[in-house]
Amino acid sequence: MNPIPYGRQHITDEDMAAVAKALTSPALTQGPTIGQFEEAFAQYIGSQYAVAVANGTAALHLCALALGVNETSKVITTPITFSASANCIRYCGGEVHFADIDPETLVLDPKAVRALLEKHPKGTFSGIIPVDFAGYPADMAAFRELADEFGLWLLEDSCHAPGASFTDEQGQNHRCGDGSLAELAIFSFHPVKHIACGEGGMITTNNEALYRHLLRLRTHGITNKPGDFSEPEPGEPERGGWYMELQELGYNYRLTDMQAALGLSQLKRADAMLDRRRAIAARYDAAFTGTAVRTIVPPDRVGHAYHLYVIQVPDRKGLYDYLRTKNIFAQVHYIPVHRMPYYRQFGWKLGDFPLAEDYYAHGLSIPMFPTLTDEEQAYVIREVLAFVNGKV
């Protein structure tokens, strides 16, 4: 069997043709395809606005800036995520706090967040960054309730979850990042994600003021729109078509037209690829039911996007090592952020978040990508079960 990674991009002839066409455009950075990609992505997610940026981390950083995070800010997130979900707060000088996960979903637990909020005076915290881990939607309705009660903003990290959704207790369906519950949401277009741009990210929102601010922040804080200019100073030379203004400290976090062309092409088959991921997950679910392999099977009200298929087993390292001998390259998502040396310096220690730490001790992401063949998946299932059943 050829090597089987935990994730893999899928590039088609149509994708390559789209990129080749973009290469002939006069503008390779902020060309016309950027706007087309933003409009199409906003329509797919269900938000009013979308801002394309260099990558998911840049998206998080810009959102933190737009939300006013600074040295006085304290923000809550999950320890089970890629470190960028927390780092974006540190980039702005803010203080990161963690709350534990729900072991049934592996997502930040609203009850744990409430307990943390209630231990401090109202006004202590500025916001919450829930993460749609592995493609399982965070309970954004519960987080919105907390945010409204405690005066917080919400930034939804949906890097794993384009196309995911959940139905709230009132029967209303919410798509991850649609702007109905969080002020801002972010997505990633890293190669192993649902939509690949090589690198790339997107911010979605229904807030026009935040949208306009983000457009400026991603391009050095510069505007060239006359309606946004400051009043001319006495004696200032007459302004011409060249005039622009640096209005605040921004960043060069732009996506290129070539990357947008690839993303736009991939977006056209996003639903089909999501259906394939869900079919692969259903096959895994059936194979592991009644075994020592623990899985997360969402209820009917949750539309899981399955960026990852995560299992939990008694001997995680043993299985990880064994699978590598069989050319199956599983991965661990993630080492809890509070256990990283950088965050340990702030006083976080082993035992602070026992549910997250227990998941980390047993969790493993096995192959999940749309081009995984039935034969490859059967092989993965067979080898996982052989190990956990002691038949190797």
Q: Are residues 21 and 129 in the same domain?
A: yes
Who wins on pLDDT, 57 or 169? 57
Cα–Cα distance list, 57 to 83, 190, 256 (Å): 9, 11, 16
Most confident of 19-23, 28-32, 266-270: 266-270
- If one counts every other C-beta atom within 10 angstroms of the C-beta of residue 18, the result is 21
Q: Are residues 195 and 256 in the same domain?
A: yes
The predicted structure's pLDDT at residue 206: 98
Range 65-86 average pLDDT: 98
Query: 193 an active-site residue?
Result: yes
C-alpha to C-alpha distance for 114 and 117, rounded to whole angstroms: 5
Mapped onto helix, strand or coil, the DSSP state of residue 135 is helix
Q: Are residues 164 and 277 in the same domain?
A: no
280 and 295 Cβ atoms separated by less than 8 Å: no
Helices 270-288 and 374-388, interaxial angle, to 10°? 30
pLDDT tens, 323-356? 999 999 999 999 999 999 999 999 999 999 999 9
Per-residue pLDDT at 383 exceeds 90:
yes
Q: Are residues 164 and 54 in the same domain?
A: yes
Domain end, chosen from 267, 292, 313, is at: 267
Q: Are residues 126 and 87 in the same domain?
A: yes
Q: Which of 193, 225, 268, 317 is catalytic?
A: 193
Q: Are residues 28 and 162 in the same domain?
A: yes
Q: Report the percentage of the chain scoring pLDDT > 70.
A: 100
Q: Are residues 168 and 29 in the same domain?
A: yes
Domain end, chosen from 267, 289, 305, is at: 267
What's the pTM value of the predicted model, to 2 decimals?
A: 0.97
Domain end, chosen from 252, 267, 282, is at: 267
The predicted structure's pLDDT at residue 357: 98
Range 243-250 average pLDDT: 95
137 and 110 Cβ atoms separated by less than 8 Å: no
Q: Are residues 242 and 312 in the same domain?
A: no
pLDDT tens, 274-316? 999 999 999 999 999 999 999 999 999 999 999 999 999 999 9
| Total structural domains within the chain | 2
Q: Are residues 276 and 262 in the same domain?
A: no
Which CATH number fits the domain that encloses residue 57? Answer: 3.40.640.10
The predicted structure's pLDDT at residue 212: 96
Q: Are residues 148 and 276 in the same domain?
A: no
Which CATH number fits the domain that encloses residue 320? Answer: 3.90.1150.10
Q: Which domain holds residue 289?
A: 270-388
C-alpha to C-alpha distance for 29 and 35, rounded to whole angstroms: 12
Amino acid present at 153: W
Q: Are residues 297 and 184 in the same domain?
A: no
The predicted structure's pLDDT at residue 28: 80
Q: How sure is the predictor about 94, in pLDDT bands with cuts at 50, 70 and 90?
A: very high
Look up residue 284 and give its two tokens. Answer: 């895994």
Q: Are residues 160 and 35 in the same domain?
A: yes
Continuous H helices in 225-339: 257-267, 270-288, 316-325
